Structure 1
Amino acid sequence: MAQRHQTSPLRNPLMDMLQAVREAGSIAGAAKSLQLSYRHVWGELKRWEQALEQPLILWEKGHAARLSEFADKLLWAERQAQARLAPQISALHAELEKTFSVAFDPEHHVLPIFASHDDALVQLREHAAKQSLHLDLRFCGSVDAIRALNEGRCIMAGFHAPSQPATDSLVARTYKPLLKTGLHKLIGFSSRQQGLMVQPGNPLALRRLDHLLRPGVRFVNRSPGTGTRLLLDQWLTAAELNHQNIEGYAHEEPSHAAIAACIAAGQADVGLGIGSAAQAQGLDFVPLEQEDYWLVCLKSAVDSPPVQHLCRLLQSADWTDQLNAMAGYTAVNTSGQIQSLKQRLPWWTHRSHKPKP
């Protein structure tokens, strides 16, 4: 077989056969060099001729088989593609080998996480990768993240809740059926501020929740199932405010970053989100609520190497300094510590009261 066929990262059986016919001058010689049967090579060439509706091999009595002009052009085009793409394909191949080598290295760990969107988690992923811990992050709503954990689609989930939610609050009533004492364990992650992201200088002077109901104020919302949407709906219910009076309540974006970008582009005046997302887009931020961001995993996974690796990393001084430097974030003294639901979430420490009708 020609050297090109042995080393090329891009392989095509037709091109291999055409090249072999050109070099051998016959179907039989091509079949021998390719270590294939004559019948197979002949049948494949005929099949390709029918598919392409062009002749590939020319035979003249007493002469060697040769390629048609169309076949010559095919090989020329393939050489051009090889010259242009082979370096990139080789580099990609090397990168894939490097990536897959992680699977065979006992010092590296991979941790699948479904989580509510959070800028600190993005930075943690980059920080952890340098410590041989690879976080396979999938962002979704808090509720969907916990459901993914319960359905076995990940090892850990990330969700957020107000630091002191009422026992019969919407947040408590939503999360409590999903999290089970004795089954789940919490891991402290961070404390962060939720608030109003507004245009630079806050020209509409939006400082409170009821300001969202002002005529002409364009709001942009998070989608149902996200912790931020849950928080907003809880605030509205507690304040006895009707969401139908908020212009743009039905306008939904998938992340804090998307909401900030929407406001920065002038498509909305205000949205609920985190301070780091507002800062990234040059927006002003009006803090309204301090909340906790939690990581949760099944009790059975607490002692697994990836989870233990993550806990050690979260307790390190390097990560604490990096987290505290982010806008709106504060490291918590429980960061990286395994805790029970009853210890940390107040709605498990008291008997739930039925919400008033």
Structure 2
Amino acid sequence: MAEDISYTTEEIAQILKVSKLTVYDLIKKGDLPSYRVGKQMRVDASDLEAYKQQTKKSARTFEPTGSYSETAKTSQPYTISGIRPIVITGQDISLDLLAKHMEKHIPSVRPLRSYVGSLDSLISMYKGESDIVSTHLLDGDTGEYNLPYIRRLLTGSSYMVVNLIKRRAGLYVERGNPHQLNGWEDLDRPGLRFVNREKGSGARVLLDEQLRLHRIQANQLIGYDLEESNHLGVAGKVAAGEADVGVGIEKAAAIVGNVDFIPLIQEQYDLVLLKKPENMEWISAVMNILCSTAFQNELRSISGYDLSLTGQVLYET
């Protein structure tokens, strides 16, 4: 019977043509009733239909261009009661501050955070699953950050690349640096216990590029396959004595404590924004936020950030 049909969050996302993050946001706000079966959230077909009908009414109220179905036909962005969800990917706290300012100053959007690595962020943008992606990917051959990867992955897209911050990256080592590790070339020392980041993260790409440039085989590193999903996890493993060295950013070492940081490179942490006609209004507002004194003062309060390029457009198609 139709009333017995229910859907998973993945199925709801496919039906509504939105990301799973948007579905979770609807459930969290109570707009879409749900219940749990084991580890899986489910939504009854009747509740989904009721939500769609309510959304159509809201679209007529907030969208002067027509009804929900007419909006879909013209490929306008999906909205929640007239408010468009904007997915921001990346793990740095600067992105959380950006989301906060967007929520405050751009009432037509609802920022949603997705905590994924740089390569996965760009892939999600290519697939149409994110709106603002952050990336810090080093091309070892040119020494250039981000643009070589962006150009390859977003071929045919119209986009702009804007600097958010610059920050120092390097090695986490045990307090006092007992192994006297001072550079990438020192990673080939036998017996060192390593802790890594997940594939697709900027730190993992940085490590792999440096290993390639210094002709160090990954299988020489004990623990190369031991992965953590963020900088704090890597720094924490070193601080706890479970590893001798890991790669990450300076700020995480200060937060974790009981670990030393060896700075080796100034990495560029950039934002990519797709230049679709329906995006231009909120992109303009985001640019204003990035260049605002209030936003930059909040960034300055966090140690380890270089704001010399913050808000500058580095590349535009």
Same fold by TM (over 0.5)? yes
Do residues 321 (structure 1) and 311 (structure 2) align? no
Q: One-letter code of the match for 1:287?
A: P
Do residues 309 (structure 1) and 281 (structure 2) align? no
Task: Sort the Cα spacing of 1:297 and 1:127 in 2 relative to 1 into closer, same or farther, 3 A.
Answer: closer
Task: Sort the Cα spacing of 1:182 and 1:146 in 2 relative to 1 into closer, same or farther, 3 A.
Answer: closer
**1:337, 1:172 → 2: CA distance?**
14
Residue 193 of structure 1, aligned match among 148, 168, 189: 168
Do residues 146 (structure 1) and 119 (structure 2) align? no
Residue 125 of structure 1, aligned match among 99, 112, 130: 99
Do residues 299 (structure 1) and 275 (structure 2) align? yes
Corresponding residue for residue 238 of structure 2: 263
**Normalising to structure 2: TM-score of the pair?**
0.66
Q: Check whether the contact 1:181–1:340 (CA below 8 A) recurs between aligned residues.
A: no
In terms of fraction of residues, the more helix-rich structure is 1
Q: How many residues align?
A: 243
CA shift, 1:157, in A, is 1.1
Task: Sort the Cα spacing of 1:166 and 1:213 in 2 relative to 1 into closer, same or farther, 3 A.
Answer: closer
Deviations 1:150-190 (A, max 9, x none): 1111112111134x854498977654420337622112211
CA shift, 1:208, in A, is 1.0
Corresponding residue for residue 249 of structure 1: 224
**2:143, 2:314 → 1: CA distance?**
22
Residue 179 of structure 1, aligned match among 150, 154, 166: 154
CA shift, 1:266, in A, is 2.1
Residue 111 of structure 1, aligned match among 86, 91, 102: 86
Identity %: 31
**Normalising to structure 1: TM-score of the pair?**
0.59
Corresponding residue for residue 307 of structure 2: 331
Deviations 1:20-53 (A, max 9, x none): xxxxxxxxxxxxxxxxxxxxxxxxxxxxxxxxxx
State the structure with more CA Rg: 1
CA shift, 1:322, in A, is 2.2
Residue 214 of structure 2, aligned match among 236, 239, 247: 239
Where do 5+ consecutive residues of structure 2 fail to align?
Answer: 1-26, 32-57, 59-78
Corresponding residue for residue 47 of structure 1: none
CA shift, 1:290, in A, is 0.7
Task: Sort the Cα spacing of 1:301 and 1:262 in 2 relative to 1 into closer, same or farther, 3 A.
Answer: farther
Deviations 1:243-263 (A, max 9, x none): 221111111111112212222
Corresponding residue for residue 8 of structure 2: none
CA shift, 1:239, in A, is 1.3
Q: One-letter code of the match for 2:227?
A: E
Where do 5+ consecutive residues of structure 1 fail to align?
Answer: 1-92, 343-357
Q: One-letter code of the match for 1:154?
A: S
Secondary structure in structure 1 of the residue aligned to 2:299:
helix
In terms of fraction of residues, the more strand-rich structure is 2
Alpha-carbon RMSD across the aligned residues, in angstroms, is 3.2
Q: One-letter code of the match for 1:290?
A: Q
**1:207, 1:122 → 2: CA distance?**
32
Secondary structure in structure 2 of the residue aligned to 1:234:
helix
CA shift, 1:339, in A, is 4.4
Q: Check whether the contact 1:185–1:338 (CA below 8 A) recurs between aligned residues.
A: yes
CA shift, 1:338, in A, is 4.0
Q: Check whether the contact 2:103–2:111 (CA below 8 A) recurs between aligned residues.
A: yes
Corresponding residue for residue 205 of structure 2: 230
Task: Sort the Cα spacing of 1:174 and 1:304 in 2 relative to 1 into closer, same or farther, 3 A.
Answer: closer
